[in-house]
A = this chain, B = another copy of it.
Amino acid sequence: MAHRVARRPRTLADLGERGLLRSIARYLDPPSRALLVAAPKDDAAVWRGDPFVVATTDTMVEEIDFRLDWPGFDFAMLGRRLISINLSDLAAMGAEPRYALVSLTLRGTLAVADVRRLYEGIAHQARRFSCAIAGGDVSGTLGLLTLTATLVGRIDSARSVLRRDGARPGWLLAVTGALGGAAAGLRLLESGRRPATARERGWVSAQLDPTPRVIAGRVLVDAGIRVGGDISDGLYREVERLLEGTRLGATIAVDRLPLAPGLQRKEWALAVKDSEDFELLCAAPAARIAAARRVLERLELPLTVVGEIDARPGIRLRNGSRMERLEGAGYEHFR
């Protein structure tokens, strides 16, 4: 008698949409006291609301934001990053994450195991930040993977929020964490070389698997800070945004930037221009920055003063006694 070899589903085309939905059901949060109905069982999710809601959506596109052939590419990490980049937007408002909706556009040729890893990463990162996966959508595509998440969070009051508006001359500019690692990591990934040292692995990890500064955002608000944002489009670009519509300017102290370990001082532009570091920038009077820094120190997260708002329009880059110039700061889509 011949042995029968069990044929197992290998790709999404084998599994089909219904099979996929069954297989990922374990990653969706079960209904709870707060989350009353989780999609896709019903047409939409239902939850008990909060008095003040913060909501954001962000997308990652294959070949633009990530490549499957990057050395060491991992679908779980991609899933974590999808949640992290959206959590970073909530963090940039000082909000507490509550619910996520995830919309994935996938090719039928993808391996089922890879798609499971993707959902594992999504669920892992959402849970780590107390965010319930309330629903979502899967679609087939003949093209590039396109992954969108929408995150909904809460704040305590309409005023306890970080906004881009409202900076004043004399206020300090401060950033969380270390800068330039994500850009250095991207440079390494695009070179096709595997990271060889702990520092190089740190850069790649800053690019692929950033830690959203959710707790830091709330610490800044608790310290009375009300102006800030994340610097995922670059520190320079975010300072520009804080100044938009005002007659104010700013000086960034290039020699004081907290560069990621292993970066040389002359590589400062990685920290200012390209970024994709999911760190927070804030502007506030010195005493409030100091108060926030004391709390964040206990959480082992540095908050470093990197410049100052002033009444002279424009952004100046001071490097010791010299002034620096910067070309083409901030990533722009379509170009």
Contact = CB atoms under 8 A, between A and B. Distances in A.
Contacts of A90: 43-44
A143 to B, nearest CB: 3
Interface string A245-284: 0000000000000000000000000000000000000000
A53 interface: yes
Interface stretch (A73-81, A158-166, A195-203, A314-322): A158-166
A20 B39 CA distance: 33
Number of copies: 2
A101 B229 contact: no
Interface stretch (A9-17, A121-129, A185-193): A9-17
A78 to B, nearest CB: 15
Contact of A334 (B108, B135, B158): B108
Interface of A: 12-13, 15-18, 20, 36-37, 39, 41-65, 88-90, 92-93, 95, 99, 101-103, 105-106, 108, 134-144, 146, 148, 150, 152-155, 158, 161-164, 229-230, 332-335
12 contacts: A20-B334, A43-B90, A48-B158, A49-B154, A53-B53, A60-B139, A63-B141, A64-B142, A65-B139, A105-B146, A143-B144, A146-B146
